[in-house]
Structure 1
Amino acid sequence: MFLLTTWKCINRTLGKGALLLTAILISACSDGSRDEKVTTDAVTVDNGAQVQLNGSGASFPFPIYAKWFRDFSRSETGVQVNYQPKGSSAGIQDFIAGVVDFAASDAAMTESEIAEVTQGVVLLPVTAGEVVLAYNLEGVDELKLPRDVYPEIFLGKIDHWQDPRIIAANPNVVLPDSAITVVTRADASGTSYVFSGHLSAINDNFQSAVGQSTTPNWPGGANFVSAPKNDGIAAEVRQTPGAIGYVTYGVAKLTDLPVARLENKVGNFVSPGPAAGGAALANAQFPAGTLPGNNAPNLIAWVPDPTGNNAYPIVSFTWLLVYVDQDNDKAAAMRRLVDYVLSDEAQAEANALGYIPLPQNVREKVREAAQFIK
């Protein structure tokens, strides 16, 4: 009930203007009894803590991180967690530079990036989510997009809503006689990395022309526009009739944007959601061995094109990046934070906010890896 009320309050607060997916709105819609310092792009809770954990990075998991970090800071005596959702690539660079205590990334880290972290790094998948295609088509409550169509939209090859292939997949839908406006990320992004990786896996033309990247070289043209962060894309889609853009399911859910049903590998059109995302994650296989430079287990796994009748096709873990060697007090606080976000209570909240609760076996792997934080 609290989360439903929160979403309604957020939607009332947003109206038709900019989308502020932030802790300030969640706090404003709850009890309002705490003394909080928050901005529109960060979560900060002032509890007079002796230990502060400052992080930055992915906007993909920000709605759930905002709640987790706020609640942990309120309940944990002497520890305060601050987080700025500036994008996965920016978070990785902050982490390498040592200007944060932890970071978050949907793109994990490359071996070369890991090698730059002299203190050593542990990568911990603490939640997972789906990348969805949100759209703005008046009167269209359900839209199906085949797997040979939506990559072509993001290649600029299909640029009109009455393209015969879209009409064929939606015979009972009145599609507008208008151009498609494609909204992409303006900043380096783990969401872009996951989305472009999926498109590359299912479409050879996309692989050769664009490929997988945190900063894909989109075709451009008059029908392509860009916006920063997930909430920026959501705002652009909402205010642009005929637009389509990629955001996380959690952001689409919180902002009440319709999303397309996508054709998966076995030919079924699937809507995103916890069950469909969980079916996709069932395909994940963690590699054997350890991360380069230390003995922490390698928990980097990708599912670019999941199998399964009910699997949603675009799904990914998202990772916390934590130093192996650090201040003892901060290391202990970080281990407690990891325990908290892996708890049954915290993982149950992921479902309500549009994320995928981690299976118990994955949580155990993460708990074991967190012991390398010293």
Structure 2
Amino acid sequence: MKKSFLLGLTLMTAVGTAAAQTNLTGAGASFPFPLYSKMFAEYKKATGVDVNYQAVGSGAGQKQITERTVDFAGSDNPMSDEALKAAPAKLLHLPTAIGAVVPAYNLPGVTVPLKFTGRVLADIYLGKITTWNDKALAALNPGVTLPPLPIMVARRSDGSGTTYVFSDYLSKVSSEWKSRVGVGNSLQWPTGTGAKGNDGVAGIVKSTPGALGYVELVYARQNRLPFGSVQNRAGKFVLADNGPASAAAQGVVIPADTRVSLTNSANADAYPITSFTYVIFYQDQKYGNRTEAQAKALKALLGWMTTTGQGYNEALDYARLPANVASKARGILNTMTYGGKKL
């Protein structure tokens, strides 16, 4: 704790002396938007640095950082090797939090959290299960009176890291989903009504009796939407929360570049639809009209997000970075350069 505090203090001092009043821009995932809004507001209070982050979806964020129109991108899924090769220079991935994607629903008269398996969720999104009183759902929820309402499937219409995480999980638990739909930020959906952003999907669910949609945990809680527990690889039905989300990273080998999937974790206590959310940025910050002050400001911000800023994660329903991941994050930041010179 003391070490993290001192590191955070050092970073704050660096920002104050070398990059005060330097504004930064980011764009991408809506998944961490509630957390980033809080972080960046607190960071501005402390440093005077304004961070403008637009929640346009992970796909759009990846595109904008590749085109170098923002200082950093937010993404819930790491960029592919192919996408990284298409970038004009080396990009780095920095995890900032762990979040959970939940099946949120609007089912009048049902007052207990429903249980779902990955196979049932896949079959709903494949259009094979179409009513709430389907025998597959009834078998998972004995004693619950399920209404004969049609399931109104809600999904993302934009390029979305939340979609990537959800489809990554479904591809691991349903061979039919993997072969017919697969994994991606944007998919050829067999069914459903699309909406932009986590807030858009939450809005459909909130306003539509019988609706089911996948959203990041904080959006379900902010909109007071019921959400179900999901059976993990160990066979336990787990309701999403910070502890089960954090457990998904335990025992996972984290590569040096931190690009890894946490879905369908083997940890017996893990919630299975879980992911890191990342900030993506260039290793060498000297490009276009960027100044060294901008580069130092970005490094200081990212350092704060992965140390002092972690104190905001849990209150907003995101898990903090585990100690081993935070250590790797610091190592990644230490490789940042400006014109080849270490920042």
Q: Taking structure 1 as the reference length, what is the TM-score of the superposition?
A: 0.81
What CA distance in whole angstroms lies between the structure 1 residues aligned with 2:67 and 2:279?
A: 16
Q: Which aligned pairs between 1:109-258 and structure 2 lie closer than 5 A?
A: 109-141=79-111, 142-220=113-191, 224-258=192-226
Q: Which amino acid aligns with 2:259?
A: I
- Correspondence for 2:279 among 299, 302, 320: 320
Q: Secondary structure at the match of 1:281?
A: coil
Give 1:313 shift: 0.8
Partner of 2:35: 64
What CA distance in whole angstroms lies between the structure 2 residues aligned with 1:362 and 1:308?
A: 17
Query: Structure 1 stretches of 5 or more lacking a match?
Result: 1-48, 288-296
Q: Secondary structure at the match of 1:156?
A: coil
What CA distance in whole angstroms lies between the structure 2 residues aligned with 1:284 and 1:331?
A: 32
- Correspondence for 2:266 among 284, 300, 307: 307
Q: Which amino acid aligns with 1:156?
A: G
- Correspondence for 1:270 among 221, 238, 244: 238
Q: Which amino acid aligns with 1:314?
A: I
What CA distance in whole angstroms lies between the structure 1 residues aligned with 2:195 and 2:126?
A: 18
Q: Secondary structure at the match of 1:83?
A: strand
What CA distance in whole angstroms lies between the structure 1 residues aligned with 2:80 and 2:139?
A: 41
Give 1:301 shift: 1.2
- Correspondence for 2:44 among 64, 69, 73: 73
In the alignment, is the contact (CA less than 8 A) between 1:322 and 1:373 conserved in 2?
no
Partner of 1:280: 248
What CA distance in whole angstroms lies between the structure 1 residues aligned with 2:134 and 2:323?
A: 44
Between the two structures, name the one with larger relative contact order (CA 8 Å, sep ≥ 6).
Answer: 2
Q: Secondary structure at the match of 1:148?
A: helix
Q: Secondary structure at the match of 2:103?
A: strand
Q: Taking structure 2 as the reference length, what is the TM-score of the superposition?
A: 0.88
What CA distance in whole angstroms lies between the structure 2 residues aligned with 1:338 and 1:93?
A: 20
Q: Secondary structure at the match of 1:51?
A: coil
Partner of 1:90: 60
Give 1:119 shift: 3.6
Partner of 1:365: 328
Give 1:265 shift: 0.9
In the alignment, is the contact (CA less than 8 A) between 2:98 and 2:246 conserved in 1?
no
Q: Deviations over 1:7-27 (max 9, x none)?
A: xxxxxxxxxxxxxxxxxxxxx
What CA distance in whole angstroms lies between the structure 2 residues aligned with 1:233 and 1:316?
A: 19
Give 1:328 shift: 1.4
Q: Deviations over 1:89-124 (max 9, x none)?
A: 101111111111111111211122222332421110
What CA distance in whole angstroms lies between the structure 2 residues aligned with 1:100 and 1:255?
A: 30
In the alignment, is the contact (CA less than 8 A) between 1:94 and 1:100 conserved in 2?
yes
Query: Structure 2 stretches of 5 or more lacking a match?
Result: 1-19, 286-290, 338-343
Q: Which amino acid aligns with 2:293?
A: D
What CA distance in whole angstroms lies between the structure 2 residues aligned with 1:91 and 1:139?
A: 40
What CA distance in whole angstroms lies between the structure 1 residues aligned with 2:68 and 2:190?
A: 35
**Matched pairs, number:** 313
Give 1:348 shift: 2.9
